[in-house]
Structure 1
């Protein structure tokens, strides 16, 4: 079954929405306090066109974070469906999430807007799937047992803070550093214990309370 092509008006609306979300991500990761008018200007659309799609800045932030959670969920589901080499499955999961760059939104937007019930549901699903990926890799004996799922979440935030040159160069450096980190996460003999207690999920979740 083929999908009927959208009319010119619908196609333009879809294109505008794509431009708005791309611009919103750029604007709000750079400055979470920026006005919504800055998004319209970056996207090259009228403010009325933006407000027809998103009634408020909160609604736009909710959409951005919802899309980010769905990307995370898709990466985790892909990893869990991979029953090949346990380490390669985990390493691919990590690389996929660096490419998805959902943590840039976490760093910039945590606690700046009111999450919806749907966002809470997706966040619980994302946490559940991420924990399953983590536990499966531990059980396979290829990931350090003293690394928590929350440790993994913070690794993504640390990598998201790396910004060097343009987007392509930034992603190149992030993947270079991810490769270094993965070498440290893989279970070798005579591994030294990590200092201090591991962060837990409640510490990460607390940042989303406005």
Structure 2
């Protein structure tokens, strides 16, 4: 890319990263807060995204595309059925697409493209779910909606920095996976549990 195009691409990446952080913390935040966090001028932001709604649509569209990519990869895995399903679960947790659902659902008007991608994501999630049930590795009384809410519960875990948050999400995912698997599974939980100090620290005012 030319220098100008490369700079525009860098700005776009900064804007989207900042928008995700700002709006998952506070969906009602103004678009100016995104520009400030990204370190770009408000005019540069508006040239790329003419409104807050357009920015929210882009964020959720990217999240849906990532969800689709992860699920398609799981469906393409012809190896061990449980490991394919477990890889799907871990991939969605790592992708953190559910944080967008928790915070942004109902805050903007979806486009037709978002509607199509949402339908595709739902179709694929149902397919990967049914495949695991048919293989006898996922308990049949669990539904795709149960898994969707499980993802949201895990996405709500935010403790310490990004690395620690990821560790804890995978710890509780491992607990959930033992409950989901047929026959019941059990393995050592990743990472160590949060301490009382970790939990109490959330109530201290930010410096």
Q: What's 1:172 paired with? A: 167
Among residues 134, 140, 145, which one is paired with 1:150 in the alignment?
145
2:130 aligned with 1:135, yes or no? yes
Q: What's 2:197 paired with? A: none
Q: What's 1:53 paired with? A: 48
Q: What's 1:38 paired with? A: 33
Structure 2 distance, partners of 1:187, 1:31, is 39
Q: What's 2:192 paired with? A: none
Q: What's 1:77 paired with? A: 72
Structure 1 distance, partners of 2:20, 2:165, is 16
Shift of residue 187, structure 1, vs aligned partner: 1.4
2:48 aligned with 1:16, yes or no? no
Q: Deviations over 1:40-64 (max 9, x none)?
A: 0000000000000000000000000
Q: Which protein, 1 or 2, shows the higher relative CO under an 8 Å CA cutoff with sep ≥ 6?
A: 1
Q: What is the number of residues matched between the two proteins? A: 184
Q: Gaps spanning 5+ residues in structure 2: where?
A: 185-207
Shift of residue 188, structure 1, vs aligned partner: 2.6
Structure 1 distance, partners of 2:36, 2:15, is 9
Structure 1 distance, partners of 2:85, 2:149, is 16
Per the normalisation by structure 1, the TM-score is: 0.87
Q: Gaps spanning 5+ residues in structure 1: where?
A: 1-5, 190-210
Q: Deviations over 1:154-192 (max 9, x none)?
A: 010000000010000000000011011000000137xxx
Q: Deviations over 1:50-88 (max 9, x none)?
A: 000000000000000000000000001000000100000
Q: Deviations over 1:98-124 (max 9, x none)?
A: 000000000000000000000000000
Structure 1 distance, partners of 2:14, 2:114, is 22
Structure 1 distance, partners of 2:75, 2:87, is 11
Structure 2 distance, partners of 1:124, 1:24, is 24
CA RMSD of aligned residues (A): 0.6
Structure 1 distance, partners of 2:55, 2:96, is 18
Structure 2 distance, partners of 1:82, 1:187, is 19
Structure 1 distance, partners of 2:159, 2:29, is 22
Structure 2 distance, partners of 1:78, 1:13, is 30
1:59-208 map, 5 Å: 59-188=54-183
